Amino acid sequence: MTRPIYLDHSATTRVAPEVVAAMEPYMGDRFGNPSSLHALGREARAAVEHSRETIAMHLGANTKEIVFTAGATEANNLALIGAAFASEERRHIITTAIEHHAVLHTAQWLQSQGFPVTVLDVDAAGRVDVDAVRQALREDTLLVSIMAGNNEIGTLQPIQEIGTMCRERGVLFHTDAVQAFGKVPLPMDSVDLLSVSAHKLHGPKGVGFLYVRRGVKLVPLLHGGGHEGGRRSGTENVPSIVGLGAATEIAFSEMEKLATRLRGFRARLIEGVAGIPGTRLNGHPTESLPHIANFSFEAIEGEGLVLKLDELGVAVSTGSACSSPDLEPSHVLRAIGVPMSTIHGSLRVSTGRGTTPEEIEAFLEHLPGAVEALRAFSPFKVGDRRVH
């Protein structure tokens, strides 16, 4: 099989060869448990701490502020649940309608446990209004959680302003930075809690971290041997943590250069797709992560389009209902008001480190034919506003 043109980097990324090389010894000779006193244990401990130092350095953080987790879902759960249960008087939580389910469903669960939750709407480009956050803040607000950049449409949020405002009001500010970390600079001065996953930046799956500003109290989700300063028990996933450190090193050393290249791809994708009738860009034209572009195609359904493109050797994803386990269209596309007539025909194109200009051009060459093939037997025509 020839390798597909992989334009689904928001779903996951290939582990970089340098990262694999860094991890390998820790699945072989250097297999020690970091808690062991002997030489093998000390070697593993050194590797974990080296990774922690790398991450802390690039974030301008203290090593004690990095808590390794089994990915960003856990980091988000730890941030929200940990902060909520550690809070004595404040109980109110604010988040947005376009958060990843790892935040949104956690907030909903907290609501079921008696923590009042406010879910803020976003505008048509997916931006949260800073004033709306200000108005939602209450005397008893304990935490505001707003993602740095959206995983489906790419829209960036004004997290610096929001975080600063929260700080002034004594409210914790958490940001899910899964898509933004290593892609765009993060305003760490305004952030109390920040979630990251390794596999979105050419690291391994199943590992991530939560940045916890010094002084922020969290109740742990996992109880046990008291690892990670008592905030996350369980023997450290040494090879993966080493991989996360290596991936972070690469991402930060390349960040500006890569972001510029990916922004160029995004502009070209937007220009290319605009040439196809009956399409729209979902998300913000400019205030966006460099690597994500989301489009809607009238009169067709996204799952078929993904599989048509898959046949042509292109890997992308969709927010259509047919592709989701609950048969509901993407909550993000609904929140930005994508019309019901086109909400099922969305396509997310996300580029990465290995993407080439030739791949972008090949995708843009394949796309019109794939769209046309599906429109050929659609009961709807471009421009239709009918619903049945």
Partner 1 sequence: MYTDRVMDHFRNPRNMGKMDDPSAVGRVGRVACGDVMWFYIKVEPDGDGREIITDVSWETFGCTAAIATSSMVSEIAKGKTLEEAVTITNRDAAEQLGGLPPIKMHCSALAADALNEAIYAYLTERGREIPEALAKRHERVAKEMATLDKRYQNLLEAEGEQTGSSQ
Neighbours of 233 (CB within 10 A): 14
Structural contact between residues 341 and 361, judged by C-beta atoms closer than 8 angstroms:
no
CB 2 → partner 1: shortest distance, Å?
18
Q: Is 166 a catalytic residue?
A: no
Which lies closer to partner 1 via its Cβ, residue 145 or residue 330? Answer: 330
Hey, is 142 helix, strand or coil? strand
Report residue 294: phi and psi, to 5°: -120, 130
Per-residue burial over 192-204, b = 16 or more CB atoms within 10 Å of its CB, e = otherwise: bbbbbbbbbbbbb
Neighbours of 381 (CB within 10 A): 11
> With the CA atoms of 251, 252, 258 and 259 taken in that order, what torsion angle do they form, in degrees rounded to the nearest 10?
110
CB 109 → partner 1: shortest distance, Å?
24
CB 321 → partner 1: shortest distance, Å?
4
Which lies closer to partner 1 via its Cβ, residue 132 or residue 307? Answer: 307
CB 106 → partner 1: shortest distance, Å?
25
CB 350 → partner 1: shortest distance, Å?
21
Give the separation between CA 291 and CA 285, rounded to whole angstroms. Answer: 12
Which lies closer to partner 1 via its Cβ, residue 19 or residue 300? Answer: 300
- Which alpha helices (DSSP H) does 93-158 contain, by range? 101-112, 130-136
H or E element: which one contains 210? strand 208-212
Give the separation between CA 81 and CA 70, rounded to whole angstroms. Answer: 16
CA angle, 172 as apex, 110 and 140 as ends, to 5°?
65
Which lies closer to partner 1 via its Cβ, residue 201 or residue 332? Answer: 332
**DSSP, residue by residue, 37-103:** SSHHHHHHHHHHHHHHHHHHHHHT--GGGEEEESSHHHHHHHHHHHHHHH-SS--EEEEETTS-HHH
Binding site for partner 1 (CB under 8 A): 299-301, 303-304, 307, 311, 320-323, 325, 327, 329, 337, 339-341, 343-344, 374, 376-380, 385-388
Active-site position among 322, 357, 361, 372: 322
Which residues are CB-contacts of 93 (< 8 A; sequence separation ≥ 6)?
A: 80, 84, 107, 110, 111, 115, 116, 117, 118, 141, 142, 143, 144, 145
Closest of 217, 170, 167 to residue 67, by C-alpha: 217
Which lies closer to partner 1 via its Cβ, residue 229 or residue 339? Answer: 339
Which lies closer to partner 1 via its Cβ, residue 311 or residue 361? Answer: 311
CB 3 → partner 1: shortest distance, Å?
21
The strand order across the sheet containing 208-212 reads 66-69, 208-212, 193-197, 172-176, 141-145, 92-96, 117-120
Hey, is 247 helix, strand or coil? helix
Q: Report residue 349 CA to chain centroid gap.
A: 14
CB 128 → partner 1: shortest distance, Å?
19
Which lies closer to partner 1 via its Cβ, residue 33 or residue 341? Answer: 341
Q: What are the catalytic residues? A: 322
